Amino acid sequence: MNAFFALIGREVRLAIRVGGGGGMAVFFFLITISIVPLGVGPDLNLLTRIAPGMLWVALLLSALLTLDRLFQADQEDGTLDLFLMGGLSLELVVLAKAFGHWLTTGLPLIVAAPVLGLLLNLPLEGMGPLMLAMAIGSPALSLLGAVGAALAVGVRRGGLLISLLVLPFYVPVLIFGVSATRAALIAVPGDLGGRSLLLLGAVTLVSLVLGPVGGAAALRANLR
């Protein structure tokens, strides 16, 4: 476990030193949300209705933006080969890198989301449910994205390929995340917001199992 946590710390330190990860994702998030009012007009009621969906779509796209470098740099400098020969299983390596990606990309996006929600006239009572839903669902984006990044690790400029591979698996996170956030803003019978949060948590738990296993299998296939 010491090696596992050391690898997470390495990912965070590299992201801080190199830059361009979480900062680029937050900047893209800001630009995406900022242009929405310009496109749909000054109708505050319309902005309120589309705010949960737009914030989740922007979060999804911002997370995708940084996936291409998740394993690429390690593959280029030979670090992945050391991981393969080391004592730490590849499943734990993938899990550590996915968790490091979430800490440096997903967590800053969650913190920035309520502030950017003000640009879309998101009511204050929706800020808490928005952050809660994103905190539950965003780890799945990193875990599932790690599988796509591992599949494309040997492809130069594989960002587009990763997006094509991962986007279909992001759809459940998007649907349940938007439903949970929207249910807090309107009267939804049957507590659909709570059900959506439970389903969102289920998707994350499934991703917690499938992400490391699938990512490790893809890395073994590419490193042979």
Tens-place pLDDT, residues 53-108? 999 999 999 888 888 878 877 777 777 777 777 777 888 989 999 999 999 888 99
Yes or no: say if 176 and 136 are a contact pair by the CB < 8 Å rule. Answer: no
Q: How far apart are CA 104 and CA 38, in angstroms?
A: 29
How does pLDDT run across 130-183, given as a tens digit for each residue?
899 999 999 999 999 999 988 888 776 667 788 888 999 999 999 999 988 887
| Whole-model pTM over 0.75 | yes
pLDDT band at 15 (very low <50, low <70, confident <90, very high): confident
Q: How far apart are CA 173 and CA 196, in angstroms?
A: 10
Yes or no: say if 66 and 163 are a contact pair by the CB < 8 Å rule. Answer: no
Domain boundaries, given as residue ranges, for the chain? 2-223
Q: How far apart are CA 58 and CA 63, in angstroms?
A: 9
- pLDDT for 189: 45
pLDDT band at 191 (very low <50, low <70, confident <90, very high): very low
How does pLDDT run across 195-215, given as a tens digit for each residue?
888 999 999 999 999 999 999
Higher-confidence residue of 17 and 29: namely 29
- pLDDT for 54: 92
Q: How far apart are CA 146 and CA 139, in angstroms?
A: 11
Q: Biggest alpha carbon distance in the chain?
A: 58
